[in-house]
Structure 1
């Protein structure tokens, strides 16, 4: 995994907000009718609306999160759905903690 891409992904408050929203899809996107938000993911259009940004802006942020491995994107008909990959996020946080540890030898 490219750690510099992951660091870049985490360096944006908008992308952090996306990850927080996707952590609880039922709470934030329970009104999504096209697919189950928990099982299938959340439509990119709904994420853009929740963020209050234009679709192209949201798509760019989501693409960076996808490149970092923090979300997966799945297409269904004409829509794309995003889902957090908690395993990758936990792996990143473990790596970061290890990198910043006082115990780590320089």
Structure 2
């Protein structure tokens, strides 16, 4: 996955909130009747409603998160359901931790050696 897409996805507070909400789908979307939010994912419409934003805005945020690999989208009839990709999120966090943990001087030496 291209890290720049992931950084862009995480740079927006609305997208961060979506990921936090999707971390606990039963808590925030337990009222979803069309499918189990934990097993199947959360309907995009409910995400837009929870954030109190327009459907196209929510759709754009979700598409950016999908492109970054942080969510998977499953289509069922006319509905789209979103679910976090925990492995991708863990991979990104591990990469970010590594980037921020390496001293600046060591990163500069590594770049010069390439």
TM-score (norm 2): 0.90
Show structure 1 runs of 4+ deviating over 6 A: none
Q: How far, CA to CA, are the matches of 2:88 and 2:53 in structure 1?
A: 26
- Aligned: 1:30 with 2:33: no
Q: CA RMSD in A?
A: 1.0
**Where is the helix percentage greater, Structure 1 or Structure 2?**
2
1:103 CA drift (Å): 4.8
Q: Match of 1:79? A: 79
Structure 1: runs of 5+ lacking an equivalent: none
- Note the C-alpha offset of 1:102: 3.5
Q: Number of aligned pairs?
A: 106
Q: CA deviation digits over 1:30-60, x for unaligned, max 9?
A: 0000000000000000000000000000000
Cα deviations across residues 67-103 of structure 1 (Å, max 9, x unaligned)?
Answer: 0000000000110000000110010000001011135
Please state whether the residue corresponding to 1:6 is helix, strand or coil. Answer: helix
Larger radius of gyration: 2
